[in-house]
Structure 1
Amino acid sequence: MLNSLRNAAGTWVAKLLLLMLVLSFAIWGITGKMMEGHGSNKVITAGSTSVSINEFRLAYDRQVNLMSQQFGQRLSRDQAKALGIDNQVLAQMVAGALLDEQARKMGLGLSKDRLAALTAEDPAFRGPDGRFNRQQFDYVLRQIGMRPDDYFANRSQVAIRQQVIEAVSDGLKAPDTLLRAVALYRGEDRTVDYLVLPKSLVEPITAPSNDVLSAWFEENKKKYAAPEYRKFSYVKLEPSDIADEKSITDEQVREDYEKNKALYTTPETRTIEQIVFKSPEAANAALDSLKGGATFDKIAAAEGKTEADTLLGTLAKDKIADRAVADAAFSLAVNEVSPVVQGQFGPVLLRVTEIKPEVVKPLDEVAGDIRKRLALAEANRVLLEVHDNYEDARTAGDSMADAAAKAHLKMVTIDAIDRAGQRPDGTPIDSLPQPQQLVQAVFQADVGADNPPVNLGAAGYVFYEVEDITAARDRTLDEVREKVVADWTKVETEKRLAAKGEELRKRLSDGTSFDTLASELSLDKQTKRGLKREADDGDFGRAGVSAVFGVAQNGVGLFPSPTGDAEILFKVTEVFEPAGADANSVPEDLKKQFATGIADDLLDELVAKLQTQYSVEVNRNAVDQALAF
């Protein structure tokens, strides 16, 4: 919100959207006058600065577009109004107008050269080379529906407003006194004694009478309502559905095998060792030593080489970068030492210690995979033709079943499904293709309607037809009695356990010892040490830790266990302040958050001050005109 404009981070598009949120405050908190006049094309006037109907509508449309992207669907006018977007935009533009008026009074401006530099610096407009790219600039503006002139006007406005904001908030830091208090607060740890109060303390719970159960059911009837169910059929079309392996001949398989034999070939590999010498003379002397009875290993040791130094690796010939070394190594027998080879890094002697010969998978071993791949390739080629034939059959009046049969496709019928993709018994239907999109489409379709298919990946379709709709309804108690009894029992148990826990908490608070309570209840008193304020403790959870730090030393409390099957009664027995807590022990990101909060407060004060200096008028008739479709 307030810090978004000040930070001015990210792409220019993001900065523009953040600008639309700058200094947002409740529209009804504006102290200016609400105009009811007719004929003016000014939505907002702040001193001598005004916002036109077109400017307001542009800002409104952008905000609607942004929210629509977040919701994944285009918001209607009524939906936008329900979200309060019109008032949000109005408040944002009033704040912006106040800043613009202050900038005007101060005589602030922006040169063309500086505006050009700001535009060129924006990462959103950079091309592949990292520099400003005019085509990228034009593309980004088209995406948000903005003309270049509008962009430059808005970019200039952003920069000028930024000057006002930076004058108030730039360089602010949180005081060390505050940061030390934060360090003490964050670093404190506690020791607590606690009892885990199980449900067995209040169980068993007697089954409720019919009157009690009926009353409870009526209060919670909506929880047990039957959702809307739909019966529909679908036909899936993707390459695997129409691939016909029988249509692929043995000759086609054989030809593909020969053409792509490299795919089925594991090349010969050799384990190669090498000794690199400083000079040809040293290499030749070593070779003479070999001929005189010395071994490769002794020569390597004499050169100060370890086994790791000499091992080049187990490699195929084409994986050896040095062609001379590759040719020489692949001409040797096992344990044979090469003549001196002039390698890229100097003269070398080579030895091959193991040879794994080339392996070619026989045709019989891979024929099935080849046949399947060729059938899928052919299916991909004719997929659109099958799609069109199916659609033509439907257009001609064929039922889904008949059209599917003609295309050799399978029709599947789902007798009942709710919006969550579940059957009436609550079990999920896992077999649906593209389930989320398909279910959503089914619940937007009418019975018997001809619907566009749901796309299935990059090359596939799901055709569907709604056959019947079972409307949502309230279930009777008899239909769900077993579940209602279980739910009532669970809630009643939790209620009674919480009441029991509160009784014990009060006794503990009044002076009864933990040991006495533990003995009475036949429970073990437990102790937890070193509990930190921001911990997500495995036994207490975040809520439990918050409860522990919500009382003073020797304070007591009660909270539900994270597992939901018990209450935890506790007493804080020790509180320890962290040693050496000071401003430097606060993380940098937290320091920035506090500095941002202080800056936000100052900016709030600035806006409040500007409202007293400049008369703000909002023309509601112009607002309505701007929002009229």
Structure 2
Amino acid sequence: MLEALRRGAQTRVAKLLFGLLVLSFGIWGVHDVFRGWGRGAVAHVGNTAISDEEFRRAYQNELDRVSQQARQRITAEQGRAFGLDKQVLAQLISGAAVEAHGEQLGLALSDQTLVEGIQSDPDFQIDGKFSKGNFDALLRQIGMTERGFLNLRRKDELRAAIIRSFVTGQTVPKPLFDIMHAYNDEKRVIEWIKIDPDAITVAEASDEKLKELYDKDQAKYMTPEYRKVQVLTLSVDDLKKHVTITDEDITKSYEATKDTYNKPEERRIQQIAFKDKATAEAALKDLRDGKKSFGDVAKEAGAKDTDVDLGLVTKKSLIDPKIADVAFSLEKDKYSDVVEGRFATVILRVTQIDPGIDRTLADVKDQVRDKLATEKARSELQNKHDEIEDNRIAGKTLTEIAESSKLTFKEIPATDATGLSPEGKPVLETPDLRKIVTRAFAPDSSTDDSAIELSDGGYAWVNVLSNEAPKQKPFDAVKDQVKDNYIVSERHRLLEELAKKLVERVDAGEPMSALEAAAKNKVEKTDPLTRKTIPQSISEAVVAQAFALPKGKAGHGPSPDQTTAVVFRVADVIAAPEASLTETDQLMRQLNAELANQTLTEYTEALKKRLGTTVNAAEMNAALGLSEE
């Protein structure tokens, strides 16, 4: 509904502004459709209020948007943890500030102007003419009167007018353009050499040295904290085991939905459309006489390949029933007679036929039974959840509940915070393992009895029985680990020392080729690079340093695989060439957008300070469903 509302309420100017400003100035979210509804206001900007219903709707809209981007459902609680509630409120406050300023400026639009704007809006037109039906359908969908929609449109138009005055009136200063172009398009050539890890030798550490390192950093060599945990899970699969499905149920469901179990016949259909029947008849004669190919006829008819090939389709997917009947009765690779369809006169050809499959009840009986059992289990899931919660409140243990409810239950002798046993194996085979152990290791795990929502729609309850504090691992048990850590640390230190010495030699005037013996590798040279060009052979850190150093100077950084060090020298600095027209337009658009965002942010912050902004935290919490506590 909100998407439809936005489409109806925004002008073309507003849409362009949205694309320009959305990165940092989100005032185009949920509009003031619901202002005045609900219990009160979560915030005021001057005399302009933001209702709790408006905030709640805007927050839900943002959750939907983030969920779509993340490709998983973001709950309201997770959204608050990410700070989305504060972000949404800040956006609504910015929008309210602009609206309040417009009222102070005395800006107004007449109803006649608004009506003319709506009538000329392509979103409400069919074949270039205003469609009252489309407009009324939108009003019914969002539950608004024409007067309410006009008021909404008026606010958007006024906001757009104010913002447009900033955007259209600004220009990018030439010095700023020149600096940014020079920064973006300057190029550098880098000479570099990768130090062979064998160029340094790590001395063998004595047992005394290793013991010294162990004593110095004993925190590295501790067992993790382990907790003994009980886990009760409620899933659809659990409930399905206790659902009874009769043969009568299966037969009735199959008869009602048998088409869903069948695979319809599919055909790859080609079609050429003609302006009239006579032209089509002449083309068909040429095809059947072998004078022309199907492709030749299509080309003469002005059809593209994408126009001709309808793809692999079912009969039901073809809009014109007359064409569908002919196409699905035609032999493969044969030309149809001329078909005068509902929308065009055509010749058809079928190039591929995938036969359909009709599945009997016997074929899909188990599938139907599983489907019905799943549906019944899902409908029973919440009731079972509530039953378990009631038993928990009554003081029953998870073990007792599991026995009486016949649900999945497991007592885990020891798990660490990552869900691994002391043997290093996962303690549960479930995609929700991390979520379950997070509850087990939460600070309030001993008192939090609420269920965990699982990814399959089920629930889990966790009870921590005991915990085992981290213990110091004896030196003999981790001696090899200490040795490995020593080798890694010492190798890094020696490589760093060698790289610094090689940089000093280059800065003292030696050519890069003089380093090859010490580095046990060959010097290589890059093509001219920009700041954004990162070759696979050297790391981003090296490129960043190279653009910070003057020509002829050297530096060092990590190799892309982090296994060794790279020493480099800035061989050449190539100033940015004069910007082309395309480059100029692209950079101007970027700088204009950034300046607009900065200007509008400063503008709204000044408005909020001048008008006065107050937030009702209690009302905001109530809108989010949080208690006063």
Give TM-score scaled by structure 2 length. Answer: 0.63
2-structure distance, mates of 1:431, 1:296 = 64
Residue of structure 1 equivalent to 2:178? 180
2-structure distance, mates of 1:184, 1:456 = 53
Matched, 1:234 2:231: yes
2-structure distance, mates of 1:190, 1:516 = 22
**Cα distance 1:128–1:588, how it changes in 2: closer, same or farther (>3 A)?**
farther
Q: How far has the Cα of 1:454 moved from its partner?
A: 1.0
**Cα distance 1:595–1:367, how it changes in 2: closer, same or farther (>3 A)?**
closer
Residue of structure 1 equivalent to 2:436? 438
2-structure distance, mates of 1:200, 1:602 = 56
Identity among equivalent positions (%) equals 25
Residue of structure 1 equivalent to 2:297? 305
**Cα distance 1:131–1:564, how it changes in 2: closer, same or farther (>3 A)?**
farther
Contact 1:556 1:570 in 2 (8 A): yes
Residues 599-610 of structure 1 mapped to structure 2, 5 A cutoff: none
Residue of structure 2 equivalent to 1:588? 588
Residue of structure 1 equivalent to 2:9? none
Amino acid at match of 2:106: S
Q: Choose the corresponding residue for 2:365, options 359, 367, 371.
A: 367
Greater Cα shift, 466-475 or 569-578: 466-475
Q: How far has the Cα of 1:215 moved from its partner?
A: 4.9
Residues 239-296 of structure 1, C-alpha deviation per residue, up to 9 Å, x if partnerless? 112213884344443443333221233345667777877666788x879x99xxx984
Q: How far has the Cα of 1:183 moved from its partner?
A: 2.2
Residue of structure 2 equivalent to 1:11? 27
2-structure distance, mates of 1:560, 1:337 = 67
Residue of structure 2 equivalent to 1:416? 414
Amino acid at match of 1:111: G
Residue of structure 2 equivalent to 1:44? none
Q: Choose the corresponding residue for 2:254, options 253, 257, 263.
A: 257
Contact 1:445 1:466 in 2 (8 A): no
Q: How far has the Cα of 1:498 moved from its partner?
A: 0.9
Contact 1:183 1:585 in 2 (8 A): no
2-structure distance, mates of 1:602, 1:378 = 57
Classify the secondary structure of the residue corresponding to 2:375: helix
Amino acid at match of 1:259: A
How many residues in Structure 1 have an aligned counterpart in Structure 2? 518
Greater Cα shift, 512-521 or 445-454: 445-454
Amino acid at match of 2:572: E
Residues 446-525 of structure 1 mapped to structure 2, 5 A cutoff: 449=447, 451-457=449-455, 459-472=457-470, 477=475, 480-525=478-523
Residue of structure 1 equivalent to 2:106? 111
Q: How far has the Cα of 1:461 moved from its partner?
A: 1.1
Greater Cα shift, 442-451 or 360-369: 442-451
Residues 396-422 of structure 1, C-alpha deviation per residue, up to 9 Å, x if partnerless? 554322321222222122333333444
Q: How far has the Cα of 1:479 moved from its partner?
A: 5.3
Residue of structure 2 equivalent to 1:151? none
Which sections of structure 1, spanning at least 5 residues, go unmatched?
17-50, 81-88, 94-98, 137-154, 611-628
Residues 368-414 of structure 1, C-alpha deviation per residue, up to 9 Å, x if partnerless? 22222122223223334443444455555543223212222221223
Q: How far has the Cα of 1:567 moved from its partner?
A: 1.3
2-structure distance, mates of 1:599, 1:280 = 63
Amino acid at match of 2:587: P
Amino acid at match of 1:260: T
Amino acid at match of 1:238: S
Contact 1:179 1:586 in 2 (8 A): no
Matched, 1:572 2:570: yes
Contact 1:274 1:351 in 2 (8 A): yes
Amino acid at match of 2:26: G
Residue of structure 2 equivalent to 1:553? 551
**Cα distance 1:498–1:127, how it changes in 2: closer, same or farther (>3 A)?**
farther
Residue of structure 2 equivalent to 1:405? 403
Residue of structure 1 equivalent to 2:240? 243
**Cα distance 1:173–1:366, how it changes in 2: closer, same or farther (>3 A)?**
same
Find the structure with the greater CA-based Rg: 1
**Cα distance 1:600–1:497, how it changes in 2: closer, same or farther (>3 A)?**
farther
Give TM-score scaled by structure 1 length. Answer: 0.63
**Cα distance 1:132–1:555, how it changes in 2: closer, same or farther (>3 A)?**
farther
Residue of structure 2 equivalent to 1:624? none
Contact 1:508 1:514 in 2 (8 A): yes
Q: How far has the Cα of 1:425 moved from its partner?
A: 5.9
**Cα distance 1:299–1:531, how it changes in 2: closer, same or farther (>3 A)?**
closer
Contact 1:433 1:462 in 2 (8 A): no
Residues 290-321 of structure 1, C-alpha deviation per residue, up to 9 Å, x if partnerless? 9xxx9845598799735989887776543443
Residues 147-198 of structure 1, C-alpha deviation per residue, up to 9 Å, x if partnerless? xxxxxxxx9xx99xx99xx99x994544323422332332222222222113
Amino acid at match of 2:105: L
Q: How far has the Cα of 1:237 moved from its partner?
A: 0.9
Classify the secondary structure of the residue corresponding to 1:469: strand
Classify the secondary structure of the residue corresponding to 1:533: coil
Residue of structure 1 equivalent to 2:616? none
**Cα distance 1:375–1:510, how it changes in 2: closer, same or farther (>3 A)?**
same
2-structure distance, mates of 1:533, 1:271 = 50
Residues 79-98 of structure 1 mapped to structure 2, 5 A cutoff: none
**Cα distance 1:257–1:110, how it changes in 2: closer, same or farther (>3 A)?**
same
2-structure distance, mates of 1:223, 1:302 = 74
Amino acid at match of 1:579: P
Contact 1:224 1:480 in 2 (8 A): yes
Residue of structure 2 equivalent to 1:148? none
Greater Cα shift, 227-236 or 466-475: 466-475
Q: How far has the Cα of 1:466 moved from its partner?
A: 0.9
Q: How far has the Cα of 1:546 moved from its partner?
A: 1.4
Residues 24-63 of structure 1 mapped to structure 2, 5 A cutoff: none
**Cα distance 1:531–1:69, how it changes in 2: closer, same or farther (>3 A)?**
farther
Classify the secondary structure of the residue corresponding to 1:559: strand
Residues 14-38 of structure 1, C-alpha deviation per residue, up to 9 Å, x if partnerless? 999xxxxxxxxxxxxxxxxxxxxxx
Residue of structure 1 equivalent to 2:533? 535
1-structure distance, mates of 2:220, 2:403 = 43
Q: Alpha carbon RMSD of aligned pairs, Å? A: 6.1
1-structure distance, mates of 2:144, 2:343 = 47
Residue of structure 1 equivalent to 2:37? none
Residues 50-89 of structure 1, C-alpha deviation per residue, up to 9 Å, x if partnerless? x99xx9xx9xx99xx99x98884499xxxx9xxxxxxxx9
Residues 590-624 of structure 1, C-alpha deviation per residue, up to 9 Å, x if partnerless? 53477479969999xx99xx9xxxxxxxxxxxxxx
Q: How far has the Cα of 1:216 moved from its partner?
A: 4.0
